[in-house]
Amino acid sequence: MTTKTYDAVVIGGGPGGYVCAIRLGQLKQKVLCVEKEEVGGVCLNWGCVPSKALIATSHTFEKVAHGASIGLLADNLRIDVPKMQGWKDGIVKKLTTGVRGLLKGNGAELVFGDARVVGPNRVQIKTKEGTTEVVEAKAIVIATGSSTIEIPTFKFDGRQVIGAREAVSLKEIPKRLLVIGGGVIGLELGCVYQKFGSVVTVVEATAGLLPGVDADCTAVVEKALVKRGAVIMKNALAKGYERNKDGSLSVSVEVKAPDGSAKLEKIVTDVVLVAVGMRPNGAGLGLEEVGVKVERGFVPTDTLGRTNVPTIYAIGDVSGVPMLAHKASKEGEVVAEVIAGHKAAKDWVSIPGAIFTDPEVAVVGLSETQAKEKGIDVRVGKFPFSALGRAMAVNETDGFIKVVADKNSHEVLGVHIVGPSATDLISEGALAVEMHAFLEDIGLTIHPHPTLGEGLMEASMHALGHAVHVMNR
Ligand code: NAI
C-alpha cells in the first residue's frame, strides 16, 4: 500500500482548521483536513452560531412581550421551543454544508476520524469507517480547539446539569436556571433563558462578571440582568447539589463576605448550567512524543504559527488565548500562507471581543486602565446611547461608546462599547486601532444619520472636546 502524501494535514475542522484548509487549497497546496465530529467545530455546531440564533429569538420575544410602552400589543405570546430549535438546527446544517462545499470547491480533502501525530511529518488517522491509515505531510497544523471544563461535583447528566452544548438544545424552558460562572457563556445564555421566562441565578467565583472586560461596561450588563430578575452571587462557589423529591436540585453555594468569612446558601433550581471556561485540546494527540512543547494543554507557537518542531503548526484555541473563532480563522489564514511560502505573520494590533449579552458588549484595544498601566497618558471620550436618536427609535438606550486615545498624538488605542448592536459597531473601532487611526479620523468622517454608528463619531469628538450632542468637559 502506498502512503498518501500531502503538503499539509490540518487536524480539526473548526473555524481555525477549515479556514486554514480552504486557504491552503486556494494557494494550490495539497491539503487534507481531518475532523472527528462535524466541520465548523464548536463555533458552528453548538457555540457561536446556534447561541446567536437563540439570542436573536429571545431578543424579539422580549421586545414584543414588553412592547406595550411603544404601542405594540400581543396577546398570548408563546414560544414554540421545538420549532425554534428546528430553525436553529437548520441554520447549523446550512452552514456546515456550506463549509463542506467550500473545502471541496477549493480542492481540500476532508476525512472524518481521529488524528494523531506520529512523527514530525506523519499523521495516523482512525477514520469513522473504522480504517486506520498513516499519511505523510510536509506540514501539520494542529487546530483541535478546546473543550468545556467540568466541575467534579457537577458532572454533566445531559438534562439538569449541563454545559453550553446542551444549553443551546434544551427541549423546554426551565422555570429556574442556576448558572455557574459569570463569564461570556454564562451571561449570554443566562440572558436568553431569562428573556424566555426562567428565573436566573448566577454564581460567580470572583468579585466581578465578564473577566477582563472594562468594569463600566460590565456594570451596565449586570444592571440589566438584575432588572430582569436575576440574582447575581459574586465571590461565590457552587460546592455541590442534592436532588429533591420533586425533581428540582438544591445547590450549595459558599459565599465569601468582604471580611473573609464564608457562609453556605442553598439555591433551589431546575437546571444548572456550568460555564466555567474551556480547556485547550493539546494533550493526547501524540505531540509530546514527537517533541512538541505542550503547556497546560496549550501548544505555544511563534509569530509564524510554528511550534518548536518547525513542521508542526498550531492555530486557534489550542494555540493560546483569547479563545475566539475570529482569532482562530485569522491564524488559519496566516499559517496557510506561511506553509505555502508566502510572507505572512501574526502581526495584528488587537483582537476585538464581542459578547452577545443584552445589552451587548464589544471591545478592541486597550482599556483606560490598561493604557495607564503602560504609562500612556490618555484622553477618553464617551457618548451615551441615551443621547442618540436612533437608539431611542429602536428603544434601546442603555449603555455607551467609550474611546480611549493617546492624550498627545490622539491615536485611538481602544474602543469599548456596551449597548445596542455593540458587536457590529466594534468593527469600525477595530479598523481604527489596526490602522493606528487618530480621533480626528473617526470624528471628522461623516457618519450617516440616524445611526448607532454616530455614537463612535461623537465619542471621538468628545475626547477632543468638540462633541455636539453631549456636553464637553
Ligand atoms: P469564561 O472564562 O468567560 O468565564 C468563566 C467564569 O467562571 C469566570 O468569570 C470565572 O471566574 C468563573 N468561574 C470559574 N470557576 C468557577 C466556579 N467553580 N464557580 C463559580 N464561578 C467560576 O468562560 P466561559 O463563559 O465558559 O467561556 C469559555 C470560552 O468561550 C471563553 O474563553 C470565551 O472566550 C469563549 N466564548 C466566547 C464567546 C464570545 O466571544 N461571544 C461566546 C462564548 C464563549
Residue 63, in any domain of the structure: yes
Q: Are residues 15 and 131 in the same domain?
A: yes
Which of the listed residues 178, 187, 213, 276 should we mutate to test ligand 1's pocket, taking the one with most ligand atoms within 8 A of CB? 276
Name the strands in the sheet holding 249-256, side by side, starting at the edge strand that comes first in the sequence: 236-243, 249-256, 262-269
Q: Are residues 133 and 27 in the same domain?
A: yes
Q: Are residues 74 and 137 in the same domain?
A: yes
Q: For residues 239 and 242, give the distance between their C-alpha atoms in angstroms, rounded to a whole number.
A: 11
Query: Helices marked H in 228-340 — which ranges?
Result: 325-339
Q: Are residues 257 and 289 in the same domain?
A: no
Which of the listed residues 46, 185, 267 should we mutate to test ligand 1's pocket, taking the one with most ligand atoms within 8 A of CB? 185
Which of the listed residues 43, 184, 255, 351 should we mutate to test ligand 1's pocket, taking the one with most ligand atoms within 8 A of CB? 184
Residues 6+ apart with CB under 8 A from 227: none
- For 286-298, give one letter per residue: b (16+ CB within 10 A) or e: bbeebebebeebb
> The domain spanning residue 49 has which CATH number?
3.50.50.60
Angle, CA of 181, 422 and 42, to the nearest 5°? 50
Nearest CA to ligand 1 atom 43: 185
Q: Are residues 143 and 156 in the same domain?
A: no
Residue 108, in any domain of the structure: yes
423, 444, 442: which is closest to 434 by C-alpha?
442
Residues 6+ apart with CB under 8 A from 250: 241, 242, 243, 244, 266, 267, 268
Q: Are residues 268 and 283 in the same domain?
A: no
Cell of 325: 473563532
Residue 472, in any domain of the structure: no
Atom of ligand 1 nearest to the CA of 148: 26
**Three-state DSSP state, 257:** coil
Q: Are residues 288 and 379 in the same domain?
A: no
Torsions phi, psi for 346 (to 5 deg)? -80, 90
Query: Helices marked H in 106-138 — which ranges?
Result: none
Q: Do β-strands 312-314 and 31-35 pair in parallel, antiparallel, or remain unpaired?
A: unpaired
If one counts the domains in the chain, the total is 3
308, 310, 315: which is closest to 288 by C-alpha?
308
Query: Is there a catalytic annotation at residue 342?
Result: no
Selecting among 416, 449, 466, 469, the annotated active-site residue is 449
Instruction: Let me know if 179 is exposed, middle or buried by CB neighbors in 10 A (0-12, 13-18, 19+).
Output: buried
Tell me how far the alpha carbon of residue 179 lies from the centroid of ligand 1, in angstroms. 11
Residue 168, in any domain of the structure: yes
Nearest CA to ligand 1 atom 4: 183
Q: For residues 379 and 409, give the distance between their C-alpha atoms in angstroms, rounded to a whole number.
A: 10
Domain that holds residue 360: 353-464
Residue ending a domain, choose from 339, 362, 387? 339
Q: Are residues 112 and 240 in the same domain?
A: no
Residue type, 175: K
Per residue, the 3-state secondary structure of 310-366, as one string, reads: CCEEECHHHHCCCCCHHHHHHHHHHHHHHHCCCCCCCCCCCCCEEECCCCEEEEEEC
* C-beta pairs of 59-63 under 8 Å, 24+ apart in sequence: 59/195, 59/358, 61/195, 61/196, 62/195, 62/358, 63/395
Cell of 21: 484548509
DSSP 68: G
Cell of 198: 426562567
Q: Is the dihedral of CA 287, 288, 292, 294 positive or negative?
A: positive
Nearest CA to ligand 1 atom 28: 277
Nearest CA to ligand 1 atom 9: 183
Tell me how far the alpha carbon of residue 393 lies from the centroid of ligand 1, in angstroms. 33
Tell me how far the alpha carbon of residue 148 lies from the centroid of ligand 1, in angstroms. 10
**Three-state DSSP state, 63:** helix
Q: For residues 136 and 121, give the distance between their C-alpha atoms in angstroms, rounded to a whole number.
A: 6
Residue ending a domain, choose from 245, 274, 303? 274
Residue 346, in any domain of the structure: no
Residue 473, in any domain of the structure: no
Q: Are residues 270 and 292 in the same domain?
A: no
Tell me how far the alpha carbon of residue 256 lies from the centroid of ligand 1, in angstroms. 20
Task: Per-residue pLDDT tens, the chain, 473 aa: give them.
Answer: 678 999 999 999 999 999 999 999 999 999 999 999 999 999 999 999 999 999 999 999 999 999 999 999 999 999 999 999 999 999 999 999 999 999 999 999 999 999 999 999 999 999 999 999 999 999 999 999 999 999 999 999 999 999 999 999 999 999 999 999 999 999 999 999 999 999 999 999 999 999 989 999 999 999 999 999 999 999 999 999 999 999 999 999 999 999 989 999 999 999 999 999 999 999 999 999 999 999 999 999 999 999 999 999 999 999 999 999 999 999 999 999 999 999 999 999 999 999 999 999 999 999 999 999 999 999 999 999 999 999 999 999 999 999 999 999 999 999 999 999 999 999 999 999 999 999 999 999 999 999 999 999 999 999 999 999 999 98
* Confidence (pLDDT) at 1: 60
Q: For residues 217 and 360, give the distance between their C-alpha atoms in angstroms, rounded to a whole number.
A: 9
Angle, CA of 20, 23 and 26, to the nearest 5°? 155
Torsions phi, psi for 121 (to 5 deg)? -130, 20
Residue ending a domain, choose from 274, 289, 317? 274
* Confidence (pLDDT) at 473: 81
Tell me how far the alpha carbon of residue 180 lies from the centroid of ligand 1, in angstroms. 9
Q: Are residues 133 and 18 in the same domain?
A: yes
Residue 344, in any domain of the structure: no
Residue 260, in any domain of the structure: yes
> The domain spanning residue 378 has which CATH number?
3.30.390.30
Q: Is the dihedral of CA 445, 451, 455, 461 positive or negative?
A: positive
Q: What does the DSSP assignment read for 400-469?
A: EEEEEEETTT-BEEEEEEEETTHHHHHHHHHHHHHTT-BHHHHHTSPPPSS-TTHHHHHHHHHHHT--SS
Tell me how far the alpha carbon of residue 181 lies from the centroid of ligand 1, in angstroms. 6
**Which residues sit with their C-beta closer than 6 Å to ligand 1?**
151, 180-186, 188, 203-206, 211, 237-238, 275-278, 322-324, 353-356
Nearest CA to ligand 1 atom 34: 323
Tell me how far the alpha carbon of residue 192 lies from the centroid of ligand 1, in angstroms. 16
Q: For residues 314 and 142, give the distance between their C-alpha atoms in angstroms, rounded to a whole number.
A: 4
Q: Are residues 113 and 214 in the same domain?
A: no
Q: For residues 398 and 219, give the distance between their C-alpha atoms in angstroms, rounded to a whole number.
A: 11
Strands (E), 52-208: 109-119, 122-127, 132-142, 146-148, 161-162, 176-180, 199-203
Q: Are residues 197 and 142 in the same domain?
A: no
